[in-house]
Chain A
Amino acid sequence: MIRVLLVAVPVVLALVGPLFVSDDVPRGAPFMPNSALGTDFVGRDVWQQVLLGGQTVVLVALLATVFSYAVGVPWGVVAAMSRVVDDILMRPLDLLLAVPSLLVLILAAAIAGPGLPVLIGVVTLVNFPDVARISRGAALEIAARPALEAMRLQGESWWRTSVVYTGRSMLRTLAADAGVRLTGALYLVASASFLGVGVPPDAADWAVMVDRNRVGLFLQPWAVVVPALLIVALSVGLNLTFDRALRKEAV
């Protein structure tokens, strides 16, 4: 029950929230406690910003995870097919994994400039090497199975052996990994936005709100604490939910 609430409250706020905000943003004095949650560092209503700010966090994390799989799975499967290709494809990834991910994030975002597509792209870039590794491992294991050898001897087409059979067998491994990836992406997206990577400085975004309103922590703590708690609830809830699902699967 708690688990469901932890995920549901931030997600519903993030997806439905923007519908309840009128277009004109009234501006008052910064850090005033005059409404439910007061005003933020430029005098916007904090509650409105909370309603608006979840969308980017949730959608960017989701999209980045989807793209990590879209790039990583074919990458890993192709690498698993031949030794030579394996080296060409996997060596550069080892390198990418050796550079601290926030350094990659900061540099890549500084090169490409701000914008949500950039943020999605950078988080994908940091995340997909792991996906590629896992799918390569899974594909190698499946390729060695007798069933696949039998299919090949029977003259089944490449499509049926490589895509239909291998793909279906990999699904379990990938599904188990998806939860970890999504929480990882959420973590990266939030941290990046907090550091001001890839988002405009006055964006309505929970992580940006936490960063920008920090100066007013003594005057108006709600502007910081509410978005921070929403991010905490979402990440804790997601992790607990996926962990639970995995353990049920294992039993």
Chain B
Amino acid sequence: MTRYALRRLAIGLVQVLAVVTAVFLLVQALPGDAAVALAGDNPDPRRIEEIRAAMGLDQPALDRFGAWLSGLARGDLGVSLVSGRPVVEFLADGLGPTLILAVVSLVLLVPLSVLLGVVAALREGGVVDRVLTTVTVGLHSIPEFALAVVLIAVFGVQLGWLPPTAVGADLLAQPQVLVLPLVVLLARPVCSVSRLVRAGMIDALASDHVRHARRLGIGEQRVRFAHALPNAVAPAVQQLARTTDWLLGGVIVVEAVFVIPGLGTILVDAVAGRDLPVVQGLAVVFAVTTVLVNLVADLVGFRLAPRSAVVA
């Protein structure tokens, strides 16, 4: 298992490099650059050239990419072209809100979706199962922004129960601003994860080893939760990994609607300002989290259901 993990880490490193290169090329292809964005509404071509030279934007793309990569190896992500602040500070700023949202979402998501999935599976075909299935299938496809504005209109504006946005709020000191964003963030993942748990549980309850456990006279509760459940959760772990990855990747839409200054907001601003180093820094963070989260998910899945050999 250690060898497997190391091998995956090596592949992951290559993947991070590839993603970073791809993003660099894409940002290169953006029309205009930070110099144009900085020069203002009525740009003077001479001024743009000066800014370009000062930022090193007049050097060949390959040289700049090389310099950036060697910086990355030393843990230096460079400075923002727009404000001159170190990119690391941008990332640290955005990471706070993004992490809070991601952690709280996951803490709520796992028990909630496992519970819903198990309840539906134990009542397979019954009224509870049918209602849960319809609701989860229906909710799953709603774009976050549409759900978000409807919730804001109802609970934030009409009823006035909850703050409509998180403008200027301290997320931890005023937890009520987190309620609506969390509901929106949870809506889709709860549906996808609970449906996988339901399917896994139904399969597991009908499997040979569970039937064997029943024949041995092990109590029904123990059979369900000690023998069937771990196998039922294994397929859902992959989906959880995707969700975690999505949550850590800066949930652009939810951050935009609720005005939360996380990684997604920073990304949108950086692309708009052609702030290449910040976009690159974010790409590194996103790629690294993707690799790590998937690695952890594979290891956890392996622990939960060792029979299903992990395919390297």
Write the residues of chain A forming the contact surface with B, with a CB cutoff of 8 angstroms. Answer: 95-96, 98-100, 102-104, 106-108, 110-111, 113, 183, 186-187, 190-191, 194-195, 207, 210-211, 214, 217-218, 221, 224-225, 228-229, 231-232, 235-236, 238-240, 243
Contacts and interface: CB of A to CB of B under 8 A. Distances in A.
Interface residues on B, range: 35 or more
Which one of B146, B164, B252, B267 has the greatest number of beta carbons of chain A within 10 Å? Answer: B146
B256 A217 contact: no
Contacts, number: 121
B119 to A, nearest CB: 19
Which one of B138, B147, B267 has the greatest number of beta carbons of chain A within 10 Å? Answer: B138
Interface of B: 15, 18-19, 22-23, 26-27, 29-31, 134, 137-147, 149-150, 152-153, 156-158, 164, 246, 249-250, 252-253, 256-257, 267-268, 271-272, 283, 286-287, 290
Contacts of B156: 217
Contact of A232 (B150, B246, B272): B150
Nearest to B140: A239
Contacts of A231: 142-143, 146
Given A98-B287, A99-B23, A103-B286, A191 B145 contact: yes
A20 to B, nearest CB: 24
Contact of A224 (B149, B249, B253): B149
Contacts of A194: 143, 145, 253
Given A107-B27, A210-B149, A229-B150, A195 B252 contact: yes
A232 B134 contact: no
A100 B31 CA distance: 21
A113 B29 CA distance: 12
Contacts of B137: 239-240, 243
Contact of A225 (B139, B142, B149): B149
8 contacts: A99-B283, A106-B271, A107-B23, A110-B31, A183-B141, A207-B145, A228-B149, A236-B142
B142 A235 contact: yes
A240 B135 CA distance: 9
Contacts of B164: 217
Nearest to A190: B143
Given A100-B249, A207-B145, A236-B139, 13 more contacts: A99-B23, A100-B250, A102-B252, A103-B23, A103-B283, A106-B267, A186-B141, A191-B143, A217-B156, A221-B157, A228-B150, A229-B146, A235-B143
